[in-house]
A and B are shown apart, each in its own frame.
Chain A
Amino acid sequence: MNESQEAALIRRCQAGDKEAFGMLVEQYHSMLFGTAYLMMRDRGLAEDAVQEALIQIWKHIPSFRLKSSIKTWMVRILINEIKQEFRKKNLPLVSLEEAPDVPSECDEAETVLIHNEERQGLRQAMGKLSSEHREAIILRYFSGLSVPQIAVVTGQPEGTVKSRLSRALERLNETLNRDGMAEGGSNNGRTKN
């Protein structure tokens, strides 16, 4: 969908067209749910946050200015909802290493093991990051936001976002190298078998 098509869809939403809203959400639903899930590490909580965010998006879409990015605007609403959910339910920010592993769909046992080991390594490394660093990494590498967009979403200056991202990548690199997951993680899996 190009920009003018998206703008037309937004205008229809602003006029109260529910079908257009469904089409607009369809464009971004994977990104919205994924962002919520990666931050909350709980499918139910992520669904609640996304549902609340959709209500807010629909309620406030008449005030959305077409000059700004709808994606950034939607993510900002979602991030606010996620933070509210955490406050409302008094939840601690779950580290990724504590989260349950999701079974893989790979067929071969060896591939599954290697894949899981790599993922476990990354999960552990992500779990060691602070919540701000993790948020920046998720918004950059999953949600696909640029540094200025992350700055808008998080309400932080661009310089802070840049330093958070580079610090987070540095820490991930350090952790992965220290734990041997970076270069030889998958080889370890093979030699064990």
Chain B
Amino acid sequence: MDEQKIERELKSFFADEVKEVEPPLQWWANAVSQATALVRVSTSWEHITGMFSKPILRVALPVALVLVVIGTLWGMGYCPDFKLTRLLPSPQPQFLRQLPKQLHHL
């Protein structure tokens, strides 16, 4: 049997085999509605980048980002001056005040 004849035979054989077991159209309608009823959870890059292209996020995100950066810089500049030198009392003066008493005991 030549190759072309086998190819023809195969095509008709496969078509016959499938034709007799193919599910009805109603099955396809159900299968499609079940597939599309699922919550679309896409982790694809296009989906993620697409989400950030929404108008509200296009403004809100940069503003939030700028505020976070400013806040962080301000906080970093504020803490060493205020918290460490003014809020927390230095232990040195009290230690020096108690030192003569301790020396007297000795």
Binding site for B on A (CB under 8 A): 16, 18, 21-22, 25-26, 29-30, 33-34, 37-38, 43, 46-47, 50-51, 54-55, 57-60, 62-63, 102-105, 118-119, 122-123, 137-138, 141-142, 169, 172-173, 176-177, 182-183
Complex CA–CA separation, A26 to B29 (angstroms): 9
| Residues in A neighbouring B50, C-beta threshold 8 A | 62
Q: How many A-B residue pairs have CB under 8 A?
A: 110
Q: A51-B31, A51-B34, A59-B41 are in contact. Are A33 and B46 (CB under 8 A)?
A: no
What is the size category of the interface that chain B forms with chain A? 35 or more
Max count, chain A CB within 10 A of own CB: residue among B28, B35, B38, B41: B35
Picked from B14, B32, B44, the residue with its CB within 8 Å of the CB of A142 is: B14
Enumerate 20 A-B pairs (CB-CB under 8 Å) in ascending A order: A21-B36, A29-B28, A34-B15, A34-B17, A47-B23, A51-B31, A54-B32, A55-B38, A58-B35, A58-B40, A62-B42, A62-B46, A102-B20, A122-B9, A123-B13, A138-B14, A141-B7, A142-B14, A176-B1, A182-B1
Interface flag for B74 (CB, 8 Å) = no
In the complex the two chains form, is B46's CB within 8 Å of A34's CB? Answer: no
Binding site for A on B (CB under 8 A): 1, 3, 6-7, 9-11, 13-18, 20-23, 27-29, 31-36, 38, 40-42, 44-47, 50
